[in-house]
């Protein structure tokens, strides 16, 4: 059994909620193993000092310098984990930059904002001569079991990626559009530039979630509510369309941008899977969205609304554009 196979199987098992756990580790019986060592006491502080806060029954990070506003409890962590497999299926790959040969030979790679580190783990398993590092603002990744070529650390990628200059051949960053303000994007791209070796590659992947294609009135209402939160936090609403300018401004060269439309709840299995993730992610954002649109404080009403959004997406053949962009730090 490969590490990834065992990790997939392990991850299917539910861990006790960190909120409820009294001990530092979620320990399971016999052949089962500890899979999450981030557990909190009732004050929300974890074994390693990392702080969480609880609102409306969901767990969030408690770092004032981080703009990310999605929860980071077990259910959301499971969703982000599963989202990786869905995106790999829909995009038919884990990366787009021309780094395959380098990965096979052995390079140093960073995943910026790695979440539960699913991309890092799978890449680490696939390219065993390379070394993979993941950095995330929240301690949502497994700390104790990981492949020998994987290291995971906590850090704010917009302020300081905790690695020396010119350390990585390739930096990958995906799905941080609800985490970085406009100035955070500038900071993160500068930090990535600093830690990249000359000639090293950056790859950015973000969906255009706030500008869906063939959007109907229900999804538009959801999109507008989310947009108002994003704007209030000074985050870009269409960061994918800014990629080329942002990368050029920071000094990157050889920029390649691909826009890939993915189907939402229609046409094929990828469409169905993408809807599963969109549905789950939206349900997990309810308490945040309800602060703007109070009718969604009613959980049942919101669930019905989101289900109707799914029917609308199918009828209208709604699509989400994924922006994939890679570039290089100049050699000189
Ligand atoms: C939707 S998850 C994506 C995880 C992973 N990149 C993936 O594609 O599976 C977004 C992650 O970005 C992290 N994040 C948000 N702002 C961050 C920041 N300023 N520095 C580091 N991580 C950040 C969050 O904690 C969260 O784990």
In the reported structure, the alpha carbon of residue 216 is separated from the centroid of ligand 1 by a whole-number distance in angstroms of 29
Mutate to test the pocket of ligand 1, among 62, 95, 115 (most ligand atoms within 8 A of CB): 115
Question: Per-residue confidence of the chain (332 residues) as pLDDT tens digits?
Answer: 333 433 343 333 332 222 222 222 222 222 222 223 333 333 343 435 577 899 888 999 888 899 999 999 999 999 999 999 999 999 999 999 999 999 999 999 999 999 999 999 999 999 999 999 999 999 899 888 889 999 999 999 999 999 999 999 999 999 999 999 999 999 999 999 999 999 999 999 999 999 999 999 999 999 999 999 999 999 999 999 999 999 999 999 999 999 999 999 999 999 999 999 999 999 999 999 999 999 999 999 999 999 999 999 999 999 999 999 999 999 98
- pLDDT at residue 143, as a whole number: 82
- pLDDT at residue 1, as a whole number: 33
Query: Which atom belonging to ligand 1 lies closest to the Cα atom of 173?
Result: 6
Q: Where are the alpha helices (DSSP H) in 155-256?
A: 182-195, 217-232, 243-250
Tokens 């954002």 identify what position? 285
* Residue 143: CA count within 13 A, CB half-sphere: 17
In the reported structure, the alpha carbon of residue 31 is separated from the centroid of ligand 1 by a whole-number distance in angstroms of 31
Q: Would you mind telling me the total number of residues written for the chain in this entry?
A: 332
Alpha carbon of residue 254 to chain centroid: 25
Domains and CATH numbers, the chain: 41-328 (3.40.50.150)
- pLDDT at residue 42, as a whole number: 37
Mutate to test the pocket of ligand 1, among 65, 81, 136, 206 (most ligand atoms within 8 A of CB): 136
Q: Is the CB of 46 under 6 A from ligand 1?
A: no
- pLDDT at residue 43, as a whole number: 37
Q: Tell me the C-alpha distance between 201 and 62, whole Å.
A: 32
In the reported structure, the alpha carbon of residue 114 is separated from the centroid of ligand 1 by a whole-number distance in angstroms of 6
Q: Which residues contact 191 (CB under 8 A, 6 or more apart)?
A: 157, 158, 159, 160, 161
In the reported structure, the alpha carbon of residue 59 is separated from the centroid of ligand 1 by a whole-number distance in angstroms of 15
- pLDDT at residue 64, as a whole number: 87
């Amino acid at each position: 059994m490969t590490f990834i196979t065992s990790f997939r199987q392990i991850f299917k098992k539910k861990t006790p909620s960190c909120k409820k756990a009294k001990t530092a580790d979620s320990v399971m019986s016999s052949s089962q193993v500890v899979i999450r060592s981030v557990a909190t006491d009732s004050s929300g502080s974890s074994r390693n000092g990392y702080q969480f806060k609880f609102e409306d029954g969901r767990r969030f990070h408690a770092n004032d310098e981080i703009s990310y506003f999605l929860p980071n409890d077990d259910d959301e962590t499971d969703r982000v984990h599963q989202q990786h497999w869905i995106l790999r299926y829909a995009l038919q790959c884990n990366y787009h930059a021309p780094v395959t040969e380098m990965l096979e030979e052995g390079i140093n790679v960073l995943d910026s904002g790695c979440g539960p580190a699913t991309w890092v783990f799978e890449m680490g398993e696939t390219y065993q001569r390379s070394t993979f590092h993941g950095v995330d603002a929240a301690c949502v990744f497994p700390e104790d079991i990981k492949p020998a070529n994987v290291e995971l650390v906590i850090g704010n990628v917009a302020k300081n990626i905790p690695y020396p200059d010119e350390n990585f051949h390739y930096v990958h960053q995906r799905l941080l559009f609800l985490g970085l303000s406009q100035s955070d994007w500038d900071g993160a791209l500068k930090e990535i530039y600093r830690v990249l070796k000359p000639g090293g590659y950056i790859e950015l992947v973000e969906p255009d979630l706030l500008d869906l294609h063939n959007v109907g009135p229900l999804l538009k209402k959801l999109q507008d509510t989310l947009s108002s939160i994003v704007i209030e936090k000074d985050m870009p609403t269409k960061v994918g369309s800014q990629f080329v300018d942002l990368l050029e401004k920071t000094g990157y060269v050889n920029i390649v941008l691909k826009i890939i439309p993915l189907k939402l709840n229609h046409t094929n299995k990828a469409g169905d899977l993408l809807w599963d993730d969109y549905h789950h992610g939206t349900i997990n954002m309810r308490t945040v969205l309800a602060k703007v649109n109070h009718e969604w404080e009613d959980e049942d009403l919101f669930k019905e609304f989101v289900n109707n959004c799914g029917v609308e997406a199918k009828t209208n053949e709604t699509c989400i554009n994924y922006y994939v962009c890679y570039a290089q730090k100049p050699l000189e």
